[in-house]
């Protein structure tokens, strides 16, 4: 009587805890595209069945990934992307003139205190928002020349 010996899984553990990897990105092109972000393997799930494969949990993500969805990053990543924190405007509160310069009082998302921001900077960053606010509230900025002194000042008029 010859008993079959139980063989191991067909899958091998490719990645280990603390390995750095990139995730495959969906692409309509034929070549593979990998994420700019680099993730660390947090947990390795062994296959439960002989025909199953290893799965990997990445730090900061909920999903499990299979071997073919990951690319190992060897050594120190050369093009690691530094995420820049973006600030989003919640709303524009009111226009101001300070030292002959136009400003807006701005309320930011995720912050409780408003800040004073130069109108020129806001026109570069969020021109559509500024133009809509000025149109909706009928705000008109203009330069005014004092007839006696000849001094030019910045002013705004609310219609």
Written as one string, the DSSP assignment of the chain is: --PPPPP--S------TT-EEEEEE--SSSS-EE-SS-EEEEEEEPPSSTT---EEEETT--SEEEGGGEEE--SS-TTPPPPPPP--EEEEEEEEEETTEEEEEEEETT-SS-EEEEHHHHHHH-HHHHHHHHHHTTEEEEEEE-TTT--EEEEEEE-
Claim: this prediction has a pTM higher than 0.75: no
**56 and 112 in a common domain:** no
Residue-number span of the structural domain to which 44 is assigned:
20-72
Give the domain CATH number at 149.
2.40.50
Q: Which of 29, 47, 72 is the last residue in one of the domains?
A: 72
Same domain, 65 and 95: no
Between 31 and 19, name the one with better pLDDT: 19
- Mark whether 101 and 52 lie in a shared domain: no
Q: Decide if 15 is inside a domain.
A: no
Per-residue model confidence (pLDDT) at position 52:
83
pLDDT digits (tens, 9 = 90+) for 27-82: 766 677 888 888 999 999 988 887 788 899 999 899 999 988 898 887 776 655 55
Q: Does the residue 5 lie in any domain?
A: no
Per the structure, the count of domains in the chain is: 2
């Amino acid at each position: 009587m010859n008993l079959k010996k139980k063989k191991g899984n067909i899958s091998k553990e490719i990645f280990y805890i603390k390995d750095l990897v990139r995730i495959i990105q969906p692409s309509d092109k034929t070549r593979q595209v990998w994420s700019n972000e680099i993730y660390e393997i947090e947990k390795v799930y062994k296959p439960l069945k002989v025909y199953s494969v290893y799965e990997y949990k990445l730090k900061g993500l909920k999903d499990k990934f299979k071997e073919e969805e990951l690319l190992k990053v060897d050594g120190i990543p050369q093009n690691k992307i530094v995420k820049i924190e973006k600030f989003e405007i919640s709303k524009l509160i009111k226009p101001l003139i300070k030292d002959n310069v136009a400003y807006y009082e701005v309320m930011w998302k995720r912050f409780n205190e408003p800040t004073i921001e130069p109108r020129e900077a806001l026109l570069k960053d969020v021109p559509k928002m500024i133009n809509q606010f000025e149109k909706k509230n009928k705000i008109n900025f203009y330069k005014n020349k004092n007839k006696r002194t000849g001094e030019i000042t910045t002013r705004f008029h609310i219609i």
